[in-house]
Amino acid sequence: MSGVSAEAPVRVSARIADLIANMTLDEKLAQIVGFWEGEEGDSVAPMQAESAPRGTLDHAIKHGLGHLTRVYGTTPVDATERAHYLWARQRQLVTGTRLGIPALVHEEILTGLSIWKAATFPTPLAWGAAGDPELVQRMGALIGTSMRELGIHQGLAPVLDVVRDPRWGRVEECIGEDPYLVGALGTAYVRGVQSAGVHATLKHFVGYSASKAGRNFGPVSAGPRELADQLLIPFEMAILDGNARSVMHSYAEIDGVPVAANPELLTGVLRDQWGFDGVVVADYFGVAFLKHLHQVAPDLADAAHQALTAGVDIELPTGDAYTAPLKAAIEAGDVDIALVDRALSRALAQKEELGLLDEDFSAGPPTSVVLDGPQHREVARTLAEESIVLVSNDGTLPLARDLRIAVIGPNADRFQALFGCYSFANHVLAQRPGVDLGFAADSAADGLRHEFGNVDLVQGCAIDDDDTSGFGAAVAAASAAEVAVMVVGDTAGLFGRGTVGEGCDRDDLELPGVQRQLVEAVIATGTPVVVVLMTGRPYAIAWATAACAAVVQAFFPGEEGASAIAGVLSGRVNPSGRLPVSLPRSSGAQPYTYLHPTLGGGTEVTTVDPSPVAVFGHGLSYTTFAYEGFAAAAEVPTSGAMTASVTLTNTGARAGGHIVQLYARDLVGSVTRPVAQLVGFQRVFLEPGARATVAFEVPTTRVAFTDRTMTRVVEPGAMTLWVGDSSHRLAEAEVTLTGPKHPVTSASPRLTRATIQS
């Protein structure tokens, strides 16, 4: 025996305890693995081909099965037809195995249920730009409802990684660079999904986004304080405030220890500190990666041992290590069966919670499911409209409807540019040329035609090559127009098949290919240029904000994104999105975050100025807003809540939305503190001349940090609170936290309450 014991015993029902006591080893192992039954050409993940399931599903379910992996999501199949297949497989498990336990079915749900013909919502960066938790929760509920109707029990989202370096390809899956923004919106999404009776899965726990130089799977050197005070915060909120029922480990190695083999994180933080009693699932092939990539395990049996010891309960997407290799190690006496029983008890408890232990699938599957109905469209449209960020504008926008408009750029006529990497369109259909998208999604050019009438469309160049042969046509079109709308940016894809997305990292932050040169060639015509960035990351665009009439940022705005963009350009939609990430000045200044301490910004002792082109929280409007009467309680106990209020007035001629942002700065701390920290936000809509008072109640937990003893505390002392339309200050007040140093526990409040009084 190795001497490793199974700690943190799991409380289970008598029913589950009886089940476990009567299970064979084969039956136990079957419940803690998944099975991925694919077709030729379905590979959507690295090592999927090399680590494909051994044998057929009929063979795999001989002793039962824990998870069915992506039954709907890796090939374009009609959902109701596939539901008949799934119900038949589940009945096979119920009637054809000794224990009769159905499998748990999971799918990707990052921007909607990622199956053919299902609604595709804006990418999470757009959620961060919209700053509307209630709307994100509604979106989650719609997704969860579709899952439940199709017999899907678990969705692999939200991604709660905090953006650290925009060069990383998976930035487009993230909500933003601020932990509280990520946590608040991620929690709302979890609540929405799980309100439908299914489970959400938090990804990727933890540190994945902090890889060196933004390289996917790259080593992470984050210290325990950075982990605790920034990277872990969103997960803590989603578990303790959102009751998330599943967590997926990250691929990261932190200071040399892979998270999949780290009991301090997967058991110590998750379970011992936060009391998490759900299930930890492996990121795909993550257990095998302990051998193949991290090389901390000599074989798959040892990889299984390390992962189980750390707290990885379920191996996904299929059983590479938790099947025959683990069985042999247990039978040889090298692995304690108690580790399997611990994981098994959590897996069965999840099935019990979802009602699967009592489900016999005798009732038939759904005969029709609304995957993209009016409610989906309304939420997608509103979220897209709220997420568009007007970065700069010399007064050219909004555009008059009778202007001669040239629409130019490689993303102008591509509906794929609306969607992120984990959309079905870019995740699966990109490898299935000729297969119809399955639902309506206009390109940006289509949206502009609907809004303005006929437009002159020219591609100009491709997304990411060096061909400039189309520049002449673009210049000619712009010269003949009164305004040029240039739609540029990214194509989302997987592992080199895109300019952004999983495995699509960059070593600079220039627009891909020759897109900048195209824009500059059109600028040289003298025709006013409006640049629309349809991207999955922020790019270094100081040159564009200086030379263009306007710059509009759209972070993959989803199926209704074209209409939202066109509406912003025409003025039908008053832009109200705010940057969830800073717009960088250069790639050489990365990694950068607005949460930096004093010496993390530009100072007299360095020649590098990392200050961004546009700060976190920035965004313009077609109306104006005034802040009046900002006030905050002068003294607050360290164990209490800071209160503040401000009156917002729409002083312009147009109705519009606005996000009131509340920030704090700890003036003196026992460790260095950020120069600005978001502690609350509230979206407000006001008619011209209307006003509203926004009141905040901020738990002091929001300004807690890990002190020199590595204890997370609220320290007494002076704070500055301020409100603004970005992280820049518009009105401020001084607050003193009084009393003793206050330790933060899992019982401490975490979410700021904001109320609107009209």
Residue 620 reports pLDDT greater than 70: yes
- Per-residue confidence (pLDDT) for residue 11, from 0 to 100: 78
Lateral strand order in the sheet of 199-205: 34-35, 67-69, 104-108, 154-156, 199-205, 246-249, 279-281
CA distances from 84 to 88, 105, 152, 470 (A): 6, 14, 13, 49
Q: Prior bond to 305 cis, omega within 30?
A: no
Helices and strands (DSSP H and E) totals, the chain? 21, 27
Residue 653 reports pLDDT greater than 70: yes
- Per-residue confidence (pLDDT) for residue 589, from 0 to 100: 85
Mean predicted confidence (pLDDT) in 575-599: 93
CA distances from 230 to 180, 253, 510, 677 (A): 9, 17, 28, 11
d(CA 359, CA 90): 9
- Per-residue confidence (pLDDT) for residue 58, from 0 to 100: 85
Complete DSSP assignment for 4-19: ----SPPP--HHHHHH
- Per-residue confidence (pLDDT) for residue 43, from 0 to 100: 57
Position 248, amino acid: M
- Per-residue confidence (pLDDT) for residue 267, from 0 to 100: 98
- Per-residue confidence (pLDDT) for residue 382, from 0 to 100: 98
| H or E element that contains 665 | strand 656-666
What pLDDT digit, counting tens, does each position of 630-643 carry? 999 999 999 999 99
- Per-residue confidence (pLDDT) for residue 604, from 0 to 100: 87
SS (H, E, C) 35-54: ECCCCCCCCCCCCCCCCCCC
- Per-residue confidence (pLDDT) for residue 65, from 0 to 100: 98
Sequence-distant (6+) residues with CB within 8 A of 70 are 36, 106, 107, 108, 317
Confidence tier at 590 by pLDDT (50, 70, 90)? confident
562: three-class secondary structure by DSSP: helix
More reliable by pLDDT, 61 or 45: 61
More reliable by pLDDT, 59 or 403: 403
Confidence tier at 48 by pLDDT (50, 70, 90)? low
Residue 41 reports pLDDT greater than 80: no
- By percentage, how much of the chain surpasses pLDDT 90? 92
Task: Name the class of domain 388-597.
Answer: alpha beta
d(CA 295, CA 301): 13
What pLDDT digit, counting tens, does each position of 723-743 carry? 998 988 999 999 999 999 999
Mean predicted confidence (pLDDT) in 551-577: 98
d(CA 125, CA 140): 15
CA distances from 384 to 49, 140, 535, 558 (A): 36, 15, 14, 7
> Cα dihedral sign for 87, 89, 95, 101?
negative
SS (H, E, C) 135-188: HHHHHHHHHHHHHHHCCCCEEECCECCCCCCCCCHHHHHCCCCCHHHHHHHHHH
d(CA 228, CA 230): 6
Mean predicted confidence (pLDDT) in 521-538: 98
Position 29, amino acid: L
691: three-class secondary structure by DSSP: strand
696: three-class secondary structure by DSSP: strand
CA distances from 245 to 169, 259, 302, 343, 642 (A): 27, 19, 27, 14, 31
- Per-residue confidence (pLDDT) for residue 46, from 0 to 100: 59
d(CA 221, CA 198): 35
Provide the residue ranges of all domains of the chain, joining segments of one domain with +. 14-358, 388-597, 625-757
Mean predicted confidence (pLDDT) in 401-415: 97
Are residues 270 and 205 in contact, defined by beta-carbon separation less than 8 angstroms? yes
- Per-residue confidence (pLDDT) for residue 1, from 0 to 100: 31
Return the minimum-mean-pLDDT range out of 350-354, 514-518, 585-589: 585-589
- Measure the N-to-C terminal CA separation of the chain; round to a whole number of Å: 68
Q: Parallel, antiparallel, or unpaired: how do β-strands 529-535 and 483-489 relate?
A: parallel
Average pLDDT, the chain: 95
Mean predicted confidence (pLDDT) in 656-685: 97
Residue 106, token pair as written in the block: 């999971």
295: three-class secondary structure by DSSP: coil
Mean predicted confidence (pLDDT) in 338-348: 98
The packing angle between helices 324-331 and 300-310, to 10°, is: 80
Q: What is the pTM of this model?
A: 0.97
Are residues 346 and 312 in contact, defined by beta-carbon separation less than 8 angstroms? no
Burial label for 467, CB within 10 Å (0-12, 13-18, 19+), is: exposed
Residue 551, token pair as written in the block: 């710059």
Mean predicted confidence (pLDDT) in 176-188: 98
What pLDDT digit, counting tens, does each position of 260-318 carry? 999 999 999 999 999 999 999 999 999 999 999 999 999 999 999 999 999 999 999 99
What pLDDT digit, counting tens, does each position of 150-173 carry? 999 999 999 999 999 999 999 999
Sequence-distant (6+) residues with CB within 8 A of 725 are 578, 617, 618, 619, 625, 658, 659, 660, 661
CATH code, 14-358: 3.20.20.300
Q: Compute and round to an integer the Cα radius of gyration of the chain.
A: 26
Mean predicted confidence (pLDDT) in 360-383: 96
- Per-residue confidence (pLDDT) for residue 6, from 0 to 100: 44
Mean predicted confidence (pLDDT) in 680-694: 98
Are residues 620 and 646 in contact, defined by beta-carbon separation less than 8 angstroms? no
CATH code, 625-757: 2.60.40.10
| CA nearest to 644, candidates 625, 666, 662 | 662
Confidence tier at 3 by pLDDT (50, 70, 90)? very low
- Per-residue confidence (pLDDT) for residue 309, from 0 to 100: 98
Q: What's the full length of the chain, in residues?
A: 758
| Residue spans of beta strands (DSSP E) within 667-730 | 677-686, 691-699, 705-706, 712-714, 717-724
CA distances from 197 to 105, 113, 139, 160, 193 (A): 13, 15, 15, 21, 8
Are residues 576 and 687 in contact, defined by beta-carbon separation less than 8 angstroms? no
Sequence-distant (6+) residues with CB within 8 A of 606 are none
User: Given phi > 0 = left and psi -120 to 50 = alpha, else beta, which region is 41?
Assistant: left
d(CA 581, CA 617): 8
What pLDDT digit, counting tens, does each position of 188-220 carry? 999 999 999 999 999 999 999 999 999 999 999
**CA angle, residues 519, 523, 527, in degrees to nearest 5:** 125
